[in-house]
Each structure stands twice: as structure tokens, then as C-alpha cells.
Chains A and B, each alone.
Chain A
Amino acid sequence: MLSTLARRAAKPLASRLVSSNGLRAISSKFAPSHEFAQIDGGVATIGVTDFAQAALGDIVFVDLPEVGDDVEKGESFGSVESVKAASDVYSPVSGVVTEVNEVLSDEPGTVNTSAEAEGWFIKVEMSDTSELDDLMDPAAYQKHCDESS
């Protein structure tokens, strides 16, 4: 999503999420362009990472698709905007949008305060779970952020 980012090494919050019953954990994957995909069964919850929100600064507008829209892995599905600039957001997986985070239309700043939890963008019913294979796990993503800083 961002070609140049500010110096910042933030620990991905999603790496600390654990399932309460231990039977099926939500796993977190990351794209090098600083989007995350939290996987629960066949559904991916997608947003931008804490590292990304820190680099963007105050977020004032988020442009999201509609429920029922198709998204393609690697393609832009919307944008996240600060006062100064708009940044495309790329989907880490392909599928159909099943939910859109309505909170962000009134409170776009939620992406700043809670990027990887309340600031999620869309939920996607995945069409091809093998697309997850080339995404990074939390440790690899953390390393990627450290190297960018």
C-alpha cells in the first residue's frame, strides 16, 4: 500500500490474538504492502496494520467497497486517506465482500487507534485459501517492518 514509510517499528497487534477455546485459532497473515488478513475458517478480515497507520498519520477518510463486491488478491479494493494524501489498499486474498466496517465512515480515526482490531475494513469469503501461502506470518512481518525502518 505504501511505497515509502516513516521510521517506525510497531509490533503487529494481531500476533497477540488467541482463540479463547483453543480449538480453532484465528491466524494472522500479512502482506508486504502492510495489509493484514485475520483468517477464521473461510473468512478473512482485512485491514491495514498498525505500522501503516503510524506512517499515514491522522486518517480522515476510508473508501470501501460494497457487500457483494468481488476482490482480487493484489488488486486495490479501496483507499485510506490522510489530510494530505490517499493510499490505495490492496487485498491479500481473492473472494467476495461479506461485511464492511460501517464504523469507519463516521470514525475513520479508529484506524489510527485500533488498526488491527476495531479498525478492520472488510470481511471476505475467500475463494482460494492457497493464496494465504505466500503471505507473511507475524514474525516475518515484524522482520519486514524492522528492515523498512
Chain B
Amino acid sequence: MLTRTLLSTTSRTLSRRGFAAAVNPDNGGIVTPLEDFHKSQGGKLVEFAGYSLPVLYNKDNGGVLAEHHQTRERAGLFDVSHMGQIKWHGDDCADFIEKCVVGDVKGLKPGFGLLTLITTPEGTIIDDCIVSRAKEGYIYMVVNGACKHKDMAQFNAELEKYGSKDVCMEYMEETLALTAIQGPKAAEATQTIMPSGIDLTGVDFMQGFDTELAGVPGCRITRCGYTGEDGFELSIPAGQAETVVSALMEHADVDVAGLGARDSLRLEAGLCLYGNDIDDTTNPIEAVLGWTLGGKGSRRRTEQGFVGADKFLKPEGGLMKVSRKRVGIAGMKAPARGHTELYDASGENKIGEVTSGTFSPTLKKPIAMGYVETAHAKAGTDIMVNIRGKMQPAKVEKMPFVTTNYYRAP
């Protein structure tokens, strides 16, 4: 019985590299397996999380607004290969992962996943990630691209403490591409690349499995995403990513979408962006993500056992009170960007700050997410937003701003 990490967390490790880490000379980012595809589609490539990725596409039906509407009305196809894909092996891996995350990993049914949080000893958030129990016998984890190396450093540190049990962390590095197809037509389009005999209408939200896609073996499909729409994340062997993506692009309702649209879509859906809305100074209760621990009396709230649990959970499992909460904000006339100051209705007392804000293409009005003192956190509370020196009235609003369309299998 061994505790082992198949790969170290530094990017200098080469043992599993399927593609050499080539870099785009214009933006300095590591190229993904879809770099040539992006260029062929007019992608405006920028550096993001250390990778070369398209912020938008210069083409017909391109630009942040068009790509946003494309995703809400039909299907947008995103390259998210910067994200970290990790496979966990060994009889004790679920038990070990629960030392690091707040969620009910042991309780996951085979083929299902959940959104969870990786925590610090201070009870704050290192990263958010999706953890899935593959019925094929491993645990599959997807972490944020900008956080993956520090996440794995945390896992390695905890593995040292965990002792000699049967756990193996396999970082898939650049051997796998990851794409997301999102929107009301995503299922119809993705069905066209499934092997015969698999009907996506029976696949529930957060459900996933290993499969062929467009005839390419070694892929994994998960019904999840970051837009509020129905859709799938597709993990594909790097060398074949273009094959699968080209097959999807054959469908009349599929078109490419970049990081700009990805951000406006997720903000409309009320989803956090790590580094903006959650970071290592925010705990899960302040971030209004306590639901990731389960409801009152849930096993993870009572047993705890993950790093930093005692910093925001009472011994019997109750949530500690917090001085500030993450809220949605709307009603201001101008967009309120990150770090915009928030004041109470009188305009005299600062009560918080915006952490993400934009102009909502779907609602055609500014929306924002931020933290305010708990006393002002109730939906409907009047507040003031200080935009470039002018106080504009706004209100705390429930999120999502745009109704979500997560799929429920019949």
C-alpha cells in the first residue's frame, strides 16, 4: 500500500507530456491543442492563466456580444484546456480528497460529480473544482487553470501528512484537451458525435462517463458547465481535439465562443470566478457557498475533517456568523467593475466592494457581484454604487440574474 504522486506539481515534469509546451510568441501563453483551430476561426489570442486562449473571434457572428447571444440562443463552443484535469486512483483516494475539500465525495454515486471547494488552514478557499466519481474506477477532478499548480502543491502537502495509504494523484498535464459546449442546442449537437446506443436525454446534470466522441476513444463527457445553460464539458486526448471540435462545428447551431463571452455568461448565471469573487481571503459561508457542504446536519458539516473546518463551522455543524456576504447587485446605470466601492442607502458609509461586474448582454443592463456587510445583504436592500466619483442608486439582487437551464433527466 503506497502513497504516491504519479507526477510532481511543477511544470518541469515531463513524463506524461503528450504535447511539448510550445508557447505563442505574441502573448507568451502555452498553446492549447486547439491553437491552430482558433487561428483558423479568427481567434484573438491573449494570455490567460498562462495559456494562449481566444478572448473573442474576429469573424461573422464573432465578438463578445454575438458569442454570448450564440450561447444563450444556440450553442457556444469554448476551449478550456487551460484547466487542470486530475485523475485519482486507489482505494483511499475518496477519503483523502475529503481531507482537502468540503464536499461529500464518498457519497457520490458512480458517474456523478459535484462542485466543491478546496480549503486552507484558515478556512478560506484555495480553489473551486468539480469532483466526479467515475464508474470506470477513478475519481476525476477539474480545477482552475490559474490555480492548478498551487492546488496540487496543497494536495502533495496533505499527502505527506496522510501517511502510507492507497492514494495516487495523476495530473493529466497537456495530454488532454478540455472543451465546453453550452446552450439550448448543445445536447442536440453533442448527440451527433456520440457513439450509437448512447442517448444523452438520459444523462442528468453533473453526470459523466468515459466514451468515444466523433469516433475518438479515450474521451470523457460531463453534463456541466460555467454558463447557466445546459451543456457538456468534453475531455479529449490532445492530439484528437481538433477532430472532435471540427465534428461539432459541422452542426448548424454550433459556433465558437471565447473568454470574453464566458465571463459575461457566468456572471449572468451568478457563478463565482476564483480570484475575483472567491479567493484565499473568503470563506465558504461569506461566499454563500455553504451549500457545498450539504444541508443542516449533513455528514460533512458534522464530521468535518477537512482542512480549516473549525474556522467557519461550529463543533456541532452549525455555520459561524460572518460579517460580510457575497451578493448580486443591479440597478446602477453604468457598469460597476471590480473594486468599485459600495455604500449604504445614505451614501455615507462604505459597506463593501464589487468583485465582478459587467454589462449583461442578455438583460441589457449592468450587473455585478460583490461583498457587503451582512446587515445589507438581503435581496431588495437599497445601496449606492460609487462609479467614477458619482453615487448611483442600486439594489442587492438574488442571483442568478438570468434564469438557468440546468438539465433534469426525465
Contacts and interface: CB of A to CB of B under 8 A. Distances in A.
Interface of A: 6, 57-58, 60-61, 63, 79, 81-86
Contacts of B337: 85-86
Contacts of A61: 334-335, 359, 366
A83 B64 contact: yes
B129 interface: no
Interface of B: 44, 55-56, 63-66, 68, 260, 263-264, 334-335, 337, 358-359, 361, 366, 388
A60 B66 CA distance: 12
14 contacts: A57-B56, A57-B63, A58-B63, A58-B65, A60-B359, A60-B361, A61-B366, A63-B388, A79-B334, A83-B65, A83-B260, A83-B263, A83-B264, A86-B337
A38 to B, nearest CB: 26
Contacts, number: 42
B44 A58 contact: no
A50 to B, nearest CB: 15
A20 B5 CA distance: 77
A5 to B, nearest CB: 12
Nearest to A79: B388
B71 to A, nearest CB: 13
Contact of B358 (A6, A57, A83): A83
Contacts of A60: 65, 335, 359, 361
Given A83-B358, A86-B337, 6 more contacts: A57-B63, A58-B64, A61-B334, A61-B366, A81-B334, A84-B263
B118 to A, nearest CB: 28
Given A60-B335, A63-B388, A81 B44 contact: no
Nearest to B387: A63
Contacts of B56: 57
Contacts of A82: 64
B334 A84 contact: no
Contacts of B66: 58
B335 A81 contact: yes
Contacts of A85: 337
Given A6-B44, A84-B260, A63 B334 contact: yes
Given A83-B358, A83-B361, A57 B64 contact: yes
Interface pairs A-B: 10 shortest CB-CB: A60-B359, A58-B65, A83-B64, A58-B63, A83-B264, A58-B64, A63-B334, A61-B359, A81-B335, A84-B260
Contacts of B334: 61, 63, 79, 81
A87 to B, nearest CB: 12
Contacts of B64: 57-58, 82-84
Given A60-B359, A61-B359, A86 B44 contact: no
A58 B360 CA distance: 12
A90 to B, nearest CB: 14
Given A57-B56, A60-B65, A63-B334, A83 B388 contact: no
B296 to A, nearest CB: 39
Contacts of A83: 64-65, 68, 260, 263-264, 358-359, 361
A120 B361 CA distance: 23
B33 to A, nearest CB: 25
A66 to B, nearest CB: 12
Nearest to A105: B333
A57 B261 CA distance: 12
Contacts of B388: 63, 79
Contacts of A86: 335, 337
A133 B260 CA distance: 40
A57 B46 CA distance: 15
A84 B358 contact: yes
Nearest to A81: B335
A58 B66 CA distance: 9
A98 to B, nearest CB: 22
Nearest to A112: B63
A110 to B, nearest CB: 14
A98 B388 CA distance: 23
A131 to B, nearest CB: 25
B330 to A, nearest CB: 14
A6 B63 CA distance: 14
A138 B350 CA distance: 47
A122 B66 CA distance: 28
Nearest to B358: A83
A62 B95 CA distance: 53
Contacts of B55: 84
A57 B66 CA distance: 11
